Structure 1
Amino acid sequence: MVHRHHRETYYVVDEGRILEFEKGEAVARVLSATEQQMAFRFSRFGGKGVQLDEALRAKLAEAMTTGTGGADPDSGDLGGKAVPAGFTYLGQFVDHDLTLDRTQVGLGEPVPVEDLVQGRSPALDLDSLYGLGPHHGSSARFYESGGRLRTGTTLGVGFPPESTSNTDHEGFDLPRAGAAAGGTRADQRAALIPDARNDENLAVGQIHLAFIRFHNRVVDLLAERGVPEHRLFQAARDLVVKHYQWVLRTDFLPRIVDPDIVERVFTRGRRHFERPGYTRPGDLPTMPIEFSVAAYRLGHSMVRGAYQWNSVFRAGGPGPIASLGLLFRFSGTAGNLTPGPADLSDLDDPNSGENLRLPSNWIVDFRRLFDFGEIGRDDLVVPAGEFNTAKRLDTLLVDPLSTLPTGTFDGRGRPVPPPIQRNLAFRNLTRAAMVELATGPQLAARMGFKQLTEDQILRGNGGAALEGLTDTERAQLVEHTPLWFYVLREAEVNEAGPGRLTGVGGTLVAEVFHRAIEGSRRSIVKHPGWRPSLPSHRRGRFTMTDLLLFAFENDPELLNPLG
């Protein structure tokens, strides 16, 4: 999907046409051969489905965001295994990696043919981190010398007084354009990274920063081992990407998808999506719109309303607990990096806010987002009340997602849309309707899964309450359940693993991940004998906590610089 000036476009390869949406209106047209070569590659896996009308979508969205009074069930509820909250935002980082079109460069800039095609195909290869590499004109600004990625420096502030927040911290903010860039304050705050979406909230921004530091540490390690300078960047990228894929395969996916499904897909192969025998060797992956528009929007359900962020912004700290609104505020894409009103109304103005860098008191404490006790580092475990777990995967979204800052959907500086259009659930449901997405029951039948019952769809298991729907609306919802709602309901009623994707949603997510890793130039699927080689808690293992420890030099003060 491409976002430009309120327009969203999906080029569906097997239909040879593009679906464009502007101001809520859908237009379909056939592309020229040149346009087809230049478009990001989506596919339609399940055929077209019958859609709910706008009024019913609005009622369903409101039930998903406010239907139970803003309930915030924990991922460990109902017998499920608690998921550390950091994986919510690792998942968002992954989404941006999958969907980034890295070949959107300035008019007239050359792009190699292999990059032109590969760059418009979904692959888990960290394009959102690397862009086109240090030697390409449009991406050179992301790099320092020697193939290292740039970092930024936070802004020392006076709160709390006499604390480490009072000084600048080099390497703890994303690199930013700065005042010399001119334009609006938003332009000057812009992060110098390939994908601005990785600065739309502070949590995903700090995850992106961790990957910058991870890459730079690998560069340093390889340089120490004598890798020649002309090979250093590519060698580091190869190592970083494969360790990242390993983390996704072994540490991320089994937390959100039934582990049996993940294991089956990665050991026996895909049964449904672009399965072997139906694709030719060398064919590049496509992105099924059922994944992009529905199944992988699972992470919206995992978002908490507030987080114990660091020693400053936490319950009982000198500052307030870090609400989701504050995580939007202290970002460059959706926010303005500056304190302001609780309703975030100032964020609609691209010239609001004094700060051009992240204040030092907002540096994350990664010990609160990832469980280092899982790898035996009890010295890096915070008290239980200070640790953040993800919200359970279900059909509820926390209330703040009912009123998104306009910067999250390219609306800053434009007329403020009606309230329902700022509701994330409504936006997800409407986007699916625009592309005539297959319904949940329709896809379950196609894939051979037992369909959810009427009671499971309407009542669920502690998720969205639908008593406000009329009998007619309830019947329509059961017959034409939107796929996004359906896969979340599947997770919600999953008795074998409460809060994990299963059935349609679990299989689609696991198979698309498998295909996206297979389609990467650097691929642990293509090389099944590959094993992690970087330092870790156990030989042959490598988790997200191992990655963070390596990125931050195994130094507790770097993982948590505010103490």
Structure 2
Amino acid sequence: MAHGTAYVCQGPHANESPFSRLFRREDPLYHSHAVSLLAGAQGPMSPPVAMAAAKPAMPAGFTFFGQFVDHDLTEFRTVRDMRALPMNPELGARQRVAPEPDVTATNGRTGQFDLDSVYGLLGHVEPALFNARGLFRLSVARRSVGNTTAARDIRRSTAFRDGRMIADPRNDENKLIVQLHILFMRLHNLVHRAKPGVHPAGSPAFAASCETVKEAYRRIVLTDYLPRLVAQSEIAPVVAALNDGHAFYTDMDRSVRAANACPAGAAPMPVEFAQAAFRLGHSQLRDGYQLNAAHGRPLFQAGGGDLRGREPIADETDVDWALFFGAAAQAAEPLDATLPAATFRLPPPAVDAPPVSLAERNIRRGADFGVCCGQTAAVALKARYPHIADPMTPTELGIGAEILGVDPSLATQTPLWFYILREAEVRHPGGTQLGEVGGLIVAETILGALHVGGVDVTPALGAAPDDTIPAAPSPATVSSMTGLLRLLGEI
């Protein structure tokens, strides 16, 4: 999906919040035709028939929660004349990240799970988003499902940025993520409204309300989201490595700070996560979703009428959250090396230039950023986490003879994103969790970013999320999406 919106950059310096890397840089020269064969509409990543979730999979809402987390942690910016411009780097251009010389791409987020995508970019609260009482300004339209007293949309047709009153316009790129974003705006309003008196944006009481919301969000990430994606066999050794200072993330953090490339209040974001492992959600996408009892929408559809955003939420697109979280939710697609058919022909404005295949764009973008191959990552991880298996074999990777005939290197220097999805499919076939390489990269990054920000990550140890609905959650105890939805009166 397209990332990049015209708005004024908060910070003037290229390395305000850097991208970096966990492993050594590699600059693969994959044959262009082989990549198109692997990741195009007729390739092995595109299923021959409409997908049916035959394997177990997590509730569909977590696909979009993952996208929300991604937007909170990363936004690619192009560096020109030592300024970070809010635009995607050009596809096909080699990129450099901190602490490499002459950085060409940096991050528009702090990377610290601080909801700057909700409150304001790079940690700066945006007063225009709030009224005089410090409450988010939301639409006057009420929801038609769930809590029918609650606002169902952001404010639109305003003078704020491009007409949408939302800190990160990417969170309005589809009709599901914008409504998930609104849940956290509503949580803030619930917390802040409970305080006696008037406390505008910027006041100490306002800051305390923001922190309560951020703490709830971090608990959901640590105990509900991450353990669904990553096995405890990967979470536990990462927590231990962070605590004793030997994690890959710790090494990366030290290197960028030693180069004076990452200020306090920000966390470096590894490209192996941003450009490979955390693009796992593309595999979880369905071709379409039931939004409420009466209406569903396809992911993409020529002529509109799909899930693309940038338009008001109507009765037909008002989300019944019980269909996305909880025991009765529709399932996401399993984690594997296939994507829904609609993603192989992305319509405008999702992309404005070839290739139109999301899978192909992911592989090419990883190569642009010097992301190492899956085998390199596996060898490096095994040296520090000896419990994991040897790298995947060409047979396990399953790249066909026709493709390897064009570029044999794909079997031994496999793009990390494809490697991680195939690893989940072959070595962790339950359908809900990543394999060892993917799981360790995701755990290292999420837990590492929290750890360097002073957050206790031990709640992730032994966390076993389920889909029960807590009876009476409070803002101070919410630790799951079902708990958040119950607190907001949605389920």
In the superposition, the TM-score normalised over structure 1's length comes to 0.67
Q: 1:170 to 1:329 in 2, by over 3 A?
A: farther
2:82 is the alignment partner of 1:123 = no
Unaligned runs of 5+ in 2: 7-11, 78-82, 87-105, 383-387, 464-469
Contact persistence 1:441–1:452 (CA under 8 A): yes
Q: 1:133 to 1:478 in 2, by over 3 A?
A: closer
Q: 1:267 to 1:331 in 2, by over 3 A?
A: farther
Contact persistence 1:518–1:526 (CA under 8 A): no
Contact persistence 2:292–2:317 (CA under 8 A): yes
Question: RMSD of the TM alignment (CA)?
Answer: 4.1
Please list the CA deviations of residues 381-411 of structure 1 after superposition, one character each: whole Å capped at 9, or x if unmatched: 5xxxxx31110011100001112232234x4
Q: 1:302 to 1:135 in 2, by over 3 A?
A: closer
Q: 2:155 aligns with which of 175, 184, 196?
A: 175
Contact persistence 1:201–1:327 (CA under 8 A): no
2:29 is the alignment partner of 1:51 = yes
1:488 counterpart letter in structure 2: L
Paired with 1:144 and 1:133, the residues of 2 have a C-alpha distance of: 21
1:453 counterpart letter in structure 2: T
Partner of 1:362: 317
2:388 is the alignment partner of 1:451 = no
Q: Secondary structure at the match of 2:372?
A: coil
**CA shift for structure 1 position 427:** 0.8
2:120 counterpart letter in structure 1: G
1:306 counterpart letter in structure 2: G
Paired with 1:328 and 1:275, the residues of 2 have a C-alpha distance of: 48
Q: 1:525 to 1:323 in 2, by over 3 A?
A: same
Q: 1:490 to 1:191 in 2, by over 3 A?
A: same
> Which has the larger Rg?
1
Partner of 1:298: 280
Q: 1:97 aligns with which of 64, 72, 76?
A: 72
In the superposition, the TM-score normalised over structure 2's length comes to 0.77
Q: Secondary structure at the match of 1:322?
A: strand
Q: How many positions carry a matched residue from both structures?
A: 434
**CA shift for structure 1 position 363:** 0.5
**CA shift for structure 1 position 239:** 1.0
Unaligned runs of 5+ in 1: 7-33, 107-116, 157-163, 314-320, 338-356, 374-380, 382-386, 412-416, 459-465
Paired with 1:100 and 1:328, the residues of 2 have a C-alpha distance of: 29
1:240 counterpart letter in structure 2: V
Paired with 2:35 and 2:474, the residues of 1 have a C-alpha distance of: 47
User: Aligned ranges for residues 116-155 of structure 1 at < 5 Å?
Assistant: 121-131=110-120, 139-154=126-141
Q: Secondary structure at the match of 1:285?
A: coil
Contact persistence 1:98–1:122 (CA under 8 A): yes
Q: Secondary structure at the match of 1:408?
A: coil
Q: 1:197 aligns with which of 146, 170, 174?
A: 170
Q: 1:360 to 1:268 in 2, by over 3 A?
A: same
2:87 is the alignment partner of 1:87 = no
Paired with 2:220 and 2:182, the residues of 1 have a C-alpha distance of: 17
Q: 2:427 aligns with which of 469, 480, 494?
A: 494
Paired with 1:327 and 1:145, the residues of 2 have a C-alpha distance of: 43
Paired with 1:393 and 1:234, the residues of 2 have a C-alpha distance of: 38
2:186 counterpart letter in structure 1: R
Q: Secondary structure at the match of 2:267?
A: coil
Name the one with the larger helix percent: 1
Q: 1:191 to 1:326 in 2, by over 3 A?
A: farther
2:299 is the alignment partner of 1:324 = yes
Please list the CA deviations of residues 78-102 of structure 1 after superposition, one character each: whole Å capped at 9, or x if unmatched: xx4x300000000000000001489
Q: 1:430 aligns with which of 364, 367, 378?
A: 364
**CA shift for structure 1 position 263:** 3.4
1:370 counterpart letter in structure 2: F
In percent, how many aligned pairs have the same letter? 30
**CA shift for structure 1 position 454:** 1.4
Q: 1:120 to 1:68 in 2, by over 3 A?
A: closer
**CA shift for structure 1 position 323:** 1.0
Paired with 1:492 and 1:398, the residues of 2 have a C-alpha distance of: 15
